[in-house]
Each structure stands twice: as structure tokens, then as C-alpha cells.
Structure 1
Amino acid sequence: MFDLQFSQSEYLADLKTALLHEFDALYQKHHDQGIYAFALVLDGLLVAQYTTVSTKKSLLTEVENKYQYLSEEDMWNVEKWQYRAQTNQGVSSFSRSMSEYFQHTRLSFTSVHSKDRFNQNALNFYVQGMEDVKDIILDKYDLLADKITFMVHLPNDPQVAIRSLERLNPPSSNLFEAIANLKSTVITQGKTRFKLSQVDKDILTDLGQSLEIEPYDDMQIAQQAYLLSLEPYFLETSPYIQNLINDIAAMEEGYLVMTKQEIQNRMKQFNF
């Protein structure tokens, strides 16, 4: 079974092979369009989903169709990039060996600290893989490090992309522009309400009602949170909702990590 703790070097080699395979395929198809960035995209469980490139030719000009091209504001919006790798031996194949391990490990967390440590190790693993293949890619295709930008992208968490950009790339106008764009996204997110689906709202409503049941039973609340995290639809909820539920279910040395007041304070940030 995949295990970052005991087999990182083995799986790092597999990740590098997958990344190189996908970049090769993307480069062969789009190199004449001016590739300016290459990204590895993760999902909410930190399982690698796909790689993607964006090109200068895909950027919108005044005379072009806005539905076919990227606007300047979306130049660093990875989820809107047009070109994704579609190979049978790339990241998706590699990730199948990781998914079960990641899911099992997350469900076995006993504290917020252990969850955070696991997440950080996983992110470092991906960034290390990108760092190792970057030099190979630059040499193989005779590319300049300041002309193509490498990054790891996690939806709804621009800080992950920012940290990966800073580690993977030398100073350049591309790098500074990407970081500035993503930092503005962080600021904007801080000023706007969380966008919640109906499922997210239902979860918060049920949680709020459970907190008001007397007498208050913190272990019962934690058990409900744990069972909720096992539901198939849980991974489709907002990452912020997932973090809240996982933290409620977490324990540290036999004690629950979050008190009733702390849960209520966390819920207030959603303003639903």
C-alpha cells in the first residue's frame, strides 16, 4: 500500500515519471503556442488529479471570443487553463495507488496536529516531485527558467500555490505576477462570504441544532462528525466545511480538541 512515511523515495520516482510523461505530451501538442506555466492540480484529499499548462496564445485579445480564451485576470487561475494532460500512464494512473491510502490515513487521524503534519508532508512530497522534474524539463527542451513557471495547485487554497511558486521558481516577472495575482485572490476571499452549497448549509444547520441539545454531549457531537466524514458526499462539500467537521471529530490524548464555544465560533465565519 502507498505510504509516504516508509516509501517516499520509491513513490517520488513514480511521481516524477508521471509528471515527465504528462509534460512531454502537453509540450508536443502546445509548445508552439508559448507555454508560460505548468501546474500539478490536487483535490481536497491532496490526491493528484491532473497536470495542465497555459499558453500565451490562449490569452484573450480585444478581438477574440471571451468564451474561447483566457482573460488577463485568469492568467493564473489554474482551474480555467485550457490544456490538461490526457494520458493513461500519467498522474491519474499514479494517483490510483494513493487514493485508498490517503482516505484511510485521514480517517485514522486522532488529532488536528496529526492531520496538519500529514497534509504538510503530502504537499512537500508533490513540490519535491515538481522540483526534481523541473530541471529535467528545462534541459530536455532547452527552456529558460524565467520563461516557464512551475506550481502545485490546491483549489480554494491559494497559499499552497504561492508557497510552491516561491520554492520552484527563480525571480522573474512571471513569478512576481503570479504571486501578486494569487495574493489578491487571498485578500478577496477574506472580504467575501464563503460560497456554500445547499449540502454545506444543511450540514451547518444540523450541526447548530445538535449543539443546542441539552444536556450537551461533546462525545456525541464528535461521533456525529466522524460518521459524517465517512459519507460519500462529504468529499463534495466545501473544504472549509470538511476542515471544520474533521477538527470536531479529532482527539488529542483522549480528549476532544474543540469545545462547544470553539465550534460555534468557527461556524460564525460562514454567515449562512
Structure 2
Amino acid sequence: MVFAPAAETAARLAALDDYAGFSVRPGDGWVALATAEADGRLDHWLELLIAEHGGRNVAGSTLGSALAAAVVGPTVGSLLLDRRCPDPALSNLTALPAGNGEFDARGVRTGVIAVLTGDPAAAHPDSVALPDENALDDWWASRAAATLTPLFEAVRTRAPFGLRNLWGLAADDVTATALWLAELAGRDQQAAWSRAQRLLDALARHVPVRFPRSRQFPAGDRLHQVRGTCCLYYRSTSEPGSPAENRCDTCPLRDDDSRRTRLLAYGP
């Protein structure tokens, strides 16, 4: 059986990790992100997150992260693995709600995918053939920015977490996805980091604010990042313990000594 190129790439990502994959034309239970604000789902998700985390600020951050991941995960994963990009247009994206304001899975509603002209799938009816990697990056960046701009604005009108921070979360997700995919696929993480920086360069040309970026943090044989934006999860009332201890290992507010100790503790 010959699969459409988007389905091929989704299957290769899912073979590395279920969450790395994405669904193509998913069915019942999935929500179109294009209608999430109009049909009241954004408000519902935010209220669930406020109830769980005890504050509108951290809830806004968490909702923004979930929305960013629905755009970044499938597209950046595909770019890193196959040099292909499923369409990140808002009308094309869908997600499977987890019941707590976040998502269990991400998907696309069509098989539209950008590929390079030398890709074997370039002649497929679903494919948008582009001449080089720069064109591919700009295609992704312009469409991802057009999608995230209204979603982030909708979150910002409902929660105090600012637009610059929301875009910073998205930028951090680009580098996190690249490093994770490289590790899953047994590829060079430094090359993946450089690829992510080129994607962020392209994204920066299309977004309405100047966003912060993460920095590299080697620990053992792995390359990690220190995020450019704190997600405020350490403030969540759902986590016991002190705020200092609850800071993520990649949090910019955590000191590097404890960060290195914790990252090394995970082992190979």
C-alpha cells in the first residue's frame, strides 16, 4: 500500500515515540484549533488549568505551551526527521484534549505537506514542492506565526502571561523538539541545535514580538537546553514542596549546579 507523504512521516515519527508522531485526518474526539476560541473551548481549558494549578498566570502559560506544542511538535519533528513539513495553517491543525486543559495528541486535518523538490514525494498531489531548505523554513515560519499569533492573543486576553513569554515558550519548544528528536533518532544533537536556530531565525522574521531563546547546556553525553522563558510551573499548587525544588531542570531560574546534577541523574 502506498501512503501519502504526511502519513509516511507521521508513521516514522511515531515509530520513534508515540508522542513524536501526529495523526492525519483524525476522527471523533479531536478539536479543530481554528474554532477553539469561538466555541468556548479555550475558556473551558483555561478554567480547568486554573483549577489544577491555582492561578491564572501559570494556567495561561500552560495553555500557551499546549497550543504551541500542537503547532511545533508535528512540524518541527517532521522537518528534523524527513525535511518535510505538514501544513501548520490554523485551519489544518487539530488536537485531542486530555481532559485537564492540555492535549494527549496532535494532528492535521489534511495531508498537505511541504517537501523539497528532490524528495521522492515531490510529485504527490498533497505535496508543496519548494526549491531549498531556506524556502522550506520560511514556509513553515510564516504559516506557524500566522497560526500562533491569534491563539496567543486569545490566551493573553484571558490570562496575564505576556505575549513575549508566550512566543518564548514556542521558541523553547522548537529547540526542545529538535534535541529530543535527534536523541530518539540517534542523530547529532549539535546539528539538530543548529537546525533549530535556523528555524527560529526564520520564525523571528514573522512574529510580532522579539522572543527570548534558550542556551545550550551539555550534561554528560547529552545536549540539553536552558529555556529562555520560565513556564511558571514551579508556582503550581498541584506540586508539593518548595518553589525552588519544583523548578524544571531546564528552567532559567534554576542554578546550573543543581541542573547538572539532576540531568546527570537520569543516566543513559
Task: Assess same fold via TM > 0.5.
Answer: no
TM-score range normalised by the length of the shorter chain: 0.3 to 0.5
TM-score (norm: length of structure 1): 0.33
- The structure richer in helix per residue is 1
TM-score (norm: length of structure 2): 0.33
Larger-gyration structure (1/2): 1
